[in-house]
Structure 1
């Protein structure tokens, strides 16, 4: 089965407040994007990476690829005006049927275990969307009535990536007309009329959106590297 990872890095990350998009910020002396690509390259020897970047940062993306990876496994395409259009651009580079991972470029701590779980579940169910349980109390706001209500947090999950689908599902789903409610691939597939399958995500699979997230990611990387060293020494 062919494997594709569409890594979406089409945004500019205004919340980070930096001069360059957050996927190019340094994390332990390497760009955030390096860790994301590395996770998928190491997960499968035969996976093809499709990197979706803002057009003006394509050269910077190529520099990262040239410095750390085999460029023959990675293609670059331009981002669109929304996530939907960026993923659509990535899908246009897929010619053969296979399993397609769509992943946020700034979820740089994704593990091989999670990538493998998503793949195996997609083989069985046609899709796999990673989620984690909500730990905080949750309320639903109704601004029109100036009201709110408590939700049962045991029935609420937080959605992550890589959202994974068989190409026979994802490619036709992205031929429908764009709607503002399309915040991820799962909402597009559901609008196409298909149900999605959930898989357990990971607490450390955080999305880098604020400066403090870089500090948290650095500590997690240090812990992971320490654990690996401990295993090698035992």
Structure 2
């Protein structure tokens, strides 16, 4: 089956305290987003990469591609007003069956091993969702009262979230809400069980200035 990646990059720079969207910030000499796309291209040279950007970010991306002489093959399409709408637009580009990995553009440290685990699981069961067990102790707050809960029963969900194309496209088309911020939840709401696979604690999402520092350190360690 053909493999696709839908990379959603609609973030802003608000929590990064910058005017520039976080996916365009420099990480070890290149924009964050280029690291992300390359992770998928290097994992599977035949993977069709679809980059979903807000319309007013496309010109900036094109300028960066020229500036960095960026050669990784990808197709750009326009996002929507919510993450749900952006993913749906990206899926709409796909007109064949296969496997699609949906990934946050601001997660540049995704490894080939995690991508491959999600793809393998999706091939077998229809979905493969990267997740890691929680490290910290957690408490549940209900009506102003809190209590300790067993953290071993809880996972932090990451991306890629990978699916058989027909399953996830049907789920998005059938959804009566565009408020979902998690693709696995869209599939689950359509009555389909989702399956978790081991993610990675390195697979952080660039959200705050501290995240860039950590990401740079991880890239240096890998080198």
Query: TM (normalized to structure 1)?
Result: 0.91
Aligned to 1:230: none
The question of whether the paired residues in 1 share the 8 Å contact of 2:161 and 2:184 is answered with yes
Is 1:223 aligned with 2:214? no
Question: Contact 2:5 / 2:101 at 8 angstroms: preserved in 1?
Answer: yes
- Report the equivalent of 2:19: 19
Give the equivalent residue in structure 1 for 2:39. 39
- 1:79 is aligned to 2:61: no
Partner secondary structure for residue 88 of structure 2: helix
160-169 or 57-66: bigger deviation: 57-66
Deviations 1:60-99 (A, max 9, x none): 22234452224xx311111211110110010110010110
- Aligned residue pairs total 220
Aligned with 2:159: secondary structure? coil
Which residue in 2 is equivalent to 1:172? 170
| In structure 2, C-alpha distance between the alignment counterparts of 1:85 and 1:216, rounded to whole Å | 30
Matching residue of 2:96: 96
Match of 2:192 in 1: 194
CA contact (8 A) 1:10 1:78 kept: no
Cα separation, 2, equivalents of 1:16 and 1:62: 22
The equivalent residue for 1:68 is 70
SS in 1 for 2:80: coil
Please tell me whether the aligned partners of residues 98 and 167 of structure 1 are also in contact (alpha carbons under 8 angstroms): yes
Runs of 4+ in 1 over 6 A off after TM superposition: none
Matched position secondary structure for 1:95: coil
Q: Is 1:136–2:136 an aligned residue pair?
A: yes
Q: Aligned pair in 2 of structure 1 residues 118, 64: CA closer, same or farther (>3 Å)?
A: farther
* Aligned pairs (5 A) from 1:96-175: 96-142=96-142, 145-175=143-173
Q: CA RMSD in A?
A: 1.2
Q: Secondary structure at the match of 1:7?
A: strand
Distance 1:64 1:113, change over 3 A: farther
The alignment partner of 2:124 has SS state of helix
* Structure 2 segments unaligned to the other structure (5+ residues): none
Cα distance in 2 for residues equivalent to 1:30 and 1:179: 33
Q: State how far apart, in whole Å, the 2-side matches of 1:22 and 1:212 are.
A: 12
Query: Could you tell me whether the CA contact under 8 Å between 2:13 and 2:19 is conserved in 1?
Result: no
5+ residue gaps, structure 1: 226-234
CA contact (8 A) 1:7 1:103 kept: yes
